[in-house]
Amino acid sequence: MIVKTEGGAEYPAEAYAFVPDASDPSTWRLRIWETPERKVTTKQLGRAVAALSPGGHDGKRTDIPDGDRSVVKATLRALYREDDAGASVPHWIQETQKGKAMKEQRISAASIVQLTEDAFDPKTGMLSIRIIQPGFNKGKTRYYPEKVCERDHPIFAQRKMFIDHQTKEERRSRPERSTKDDVAQMQETWTVNGEMFAKGPVYDPVWKAKLASMQEAGCLASQAVSICTGGIGVKGKVEGHETMIVERLIGSAQTSVDFVTYAGAGGAAVMMEAEIPETDVEMIDLELLKERRPDLVEQIMESGSRNKTKDKTHITEAEEMEKVEELELKLEEANKKLAELEGQDEAKQLKEAQDVLTKTQKELGDMKAAEAKAKVATEIEEAIDKAKLPDELKGLLRAQFSEVETVDGLKEAIDQHVEAFGKMSKAGKVMGLGESTAGSNTDDVNDKDDRLKLIEVQKVSIRRQHPRITEVEVTRKAEAFADAGSK
């Protein structure tokens, strides 16, 4: 076996993310095995990702040819998601356009293969087929990374095989399929160099006899098998071709491996955009959901509006982190350019580089300030939401803390409001929620005293948070806060 020696240990080709020539270890790059014993680890993947970043790993950057870069990044993304399909991946191995990560898209996957003459064993009734092979599809519109095939092949295990795909009408009326069309089952799946294979019994006697007769006549290769499932893809460039890189394959109730009556792609895997089954919840999109379940869409929108502030903050943080990385890269490039020009008699270029540096530093500072403000807004919202106060008082608290940059004084303000509001509860009766005893002048006097106390407490809090506003405005805000609790 050919190996490459690093740090006194020997590694095979599979220990590297980039192997342009398996017979020449000097071409192997980006080791993904930490040691021959531990193999792939998150720590080692981090080193490989760092080596692809502008700064490199330990200052050393690994250069990958442009035509191979997307494949290498897709390999690393697949490894990051080996144990967790929803795991986030580092910015430097995402497919990007103008510095922004490309969005993943739902796609339907279909592979049409012709059986080989030795695919069926008439004695045991076992059928062996190739499902999907890594690399480009026939039209180069889709690309299957080898690691994705190796990771996701189990979604085809235990899948029943039917005669022909369902029509659109059949999917609506009977999505579970008909037992009269159930003729076989794929029980075992595996990969060889990323190429997916499956094996299982043909238990329908009619189809078992048919396959045996076709094999005896030497025309088994004219029988086709069609594979359909869902997937996630992202646009990228592989070997100079704009294509859809398949990030993962998704098993669902609509995943199928069926005998079909037409020949397909000469044994080559074909990935195509196909009609999304309306019964497949894994693949349904927003437009179809609006058409079929407008009531569900309305519920989702109502639920989302209740968490608008929190969700908006989270989205903003994600976008800002990406922008921060982009600006930090610009800052690094500007510093390098500045260093190159210093000492040279090129005043104009030096000034331009300094201007870029100043502008980038300002943008970076503004972005980080916005990120900090978003985090403060989230903390304030969560604290107010947990406070045991009426919604009217919570609304006034939100307005009071809407423009602050820190959470200083928030806890004290909430505690003061809770305490003051509690004092205005009488024998289990809270302002605006219980009934007053008719003609009780004592209660009226006490209510006025408590209201005045609440106003004074609120004034202290307002002055602390808004030291520049006038005393008239302080009084107005405090009285509005007290009146909200008595309505």
> What residue segments make up the domains of the chain, in order of their start?
4-100, 105-282, 307-386, 388-487
Q: Residue 185: what pLDDT?
A: 93
Higher pLDDT, 357 or 430: 357
Q: From residue 136, give the alpha-carbon distance in Å to each of 21, 83, 271, 396.
A: 19, 25, 9, 59
Query: Does 417 score more than 90 pLDDT?
Result: no
Query: Does 275 score more than 80 pLDDT?
Result: no
Q: Highest mean pLDDT range out of 35-39, 84-88, 245-249?
A: 35-39
Query: Does 112 score more than 70 pLDDT?
Result: yes
Render pLDDT for 166-190 as a digit per residue (tens, 0 to 9).
666 776 677 667 778 889 999 999 9
Long-range pairs for 446-449: beta carbons < 8 A, 24 or more residues apart? 447/486
Of the pLDDT bands very low, low, confident and very high (cuts 50, 70, 90), residue 83 is: low
Q: Residue 273: what pLDDT?
A: 33
Hey, how many other C-beta atoms are within 10 angstroms of the C-beta on 469? 13
Query: Does 313 score more than 50 pLDDT?
Result: no
CA 422, 423, 427, 430 torsion: positive or negative?
negative
3-state secondary structure of 367: helix
Query: Average pLDDT for residues 331-358, to the nearest whole number?
Result: 63
3-state secondary structure of 311: helix
Q: Residue 198: what pLDDT?
A: 93
Q: Residue 388: what pLDDT?
A: 80
Query: Does 50 score more than 80 pLDDT?
Result: yes
Rounded to whole angstroms, the Cα distance separating 421 from 413 reads 12
**Per DSSP, what are the bridge partners of residue 238?**
241
What does the DSSP assignment read for 177-221?
--GGGEEEEE-EEEEETTEEEEEEEB--HHHHHHHHHHHHTT-GG
Rounded to whole angstroms, the Cα distance separating 416 from 409 reads 10
Q: Residue 304: what pLDDT?
A: 61
Cβ neighbors of 478 (< 8 A, separation 6 or more) are 455, 456, 458, 459, 462
Of the pLDDT bands very low, low, confident and very high (cuts 50, 70, 90), residue 28 is: very high
Of the listed ranges 35-39, 387-391, 434-438, 467-471, the least confidently predicted one is 434-438
Query: Does 22 score more than 80 pLDDT?
Result: yes
Q: Residue 315: what pLDDT?
A: 46
Q: Residue 335: what pLDDT?
A: 64
Q: From residue 441, give the alpha-carbon distance in Å to each of 222, 444, 453, 462, 485.
A: 98, 5, 19, 31, 20
Query: Does 426 score more than 80 pLDDT?
Result: no
Render pLDDT for 116-129 as a digit per residue (tens, 0 to 9).
899 999 999 999 99
Q: Residue 305: what pLDDT?
A: 57
Higher pLDDT, 276 or 284: 284
Rounded to whole angstroms, the Cα distance separating 3 from 433 reads 79
Rounded to whole angstroms, the Cα distance separating 24 from 64 reads 16
Query: Does 269 score more than 60 pLDDT?
Result: no
Of the listed ranges 13-17, 56-60, 228-232, 261-265, the least confidently predicted one is 261-265
- Amino acid of residue 360: T
Query: Average pLDDT for residues 224-249, to the nearest whole number?
Result: 85
3-state secondary structure of 144: strand
Of the pLDDT bands very low, low, confident and very high (cuts 50, 70, 90), residue 432 is: very low
Q: Residue 280: what pLDDT?
A: 47
Rounded to whole angstroms, the Cα distance separating 246 from 64 reads 20
Of the pLDDT bands very low, low, confident and very high (cuts 50, 70, 90), residue 339 is: low
Helices (H) and strands (E) in the chain, counts: 13, 18
Query: Does 373 score more than 70 pLDDT?
Result: yes
Cβ neighbors of 119 (< 8 A, separation 6 or more) are 127, 128, 129, 220
Spatial CA neighbour of 326 closest among 360, 371, 372: 360
Cβ contact 132:196 at 8 Å: yes
Which phi and psi angles does 330 have, rounded to 5°?
-65, -40
Mean pLDDT of the chain: 75
Hey, how many other C-beta atoms are within 10 angstroms of the C-beta on 362? 11
Q: Residue 436: what pLDDT?
A: 39
Spatial CA neighbour of 397 closest among 287, 312, 277, 480: 480
- How does DSSP classify residue 247? E
Q: Residue 207: what pLDDT?
A: 93
294-306 helix and 308-341 helix, angle to the nearest 10 degrees: 70
Of the pLDDT bands very low, low, confident and very high (cuts 50, 70, 90), residue 431 is: very low
Q: Residue 111: what pLDDT?
A: 73
Of the pLDDT bands very low, low, confident and very high (cuts 50, 70, 90), residue 106 is: confident
Of the listed ranges 21-30, 145-154, 190-199, 374-383, the least confidently predicted one is 374-383
Of the pLDDT bands very low, low, confident and very high (cuts 50, 70, 90), residue 446 is: low
Render pLDDT for 475-484 as a digit per residue (tens, 0 to 9).
888 787 777 6
Query: Average pLDDT for residues 128-151, to the nearest whole number?
Result: 86
Hey, how many other C-beta atoms are within 10 angstroms of the C-beta on 247? 22
Q: Highest mean pLDDT range out of 226-240, 310-324, 328-342?
A: 226-240
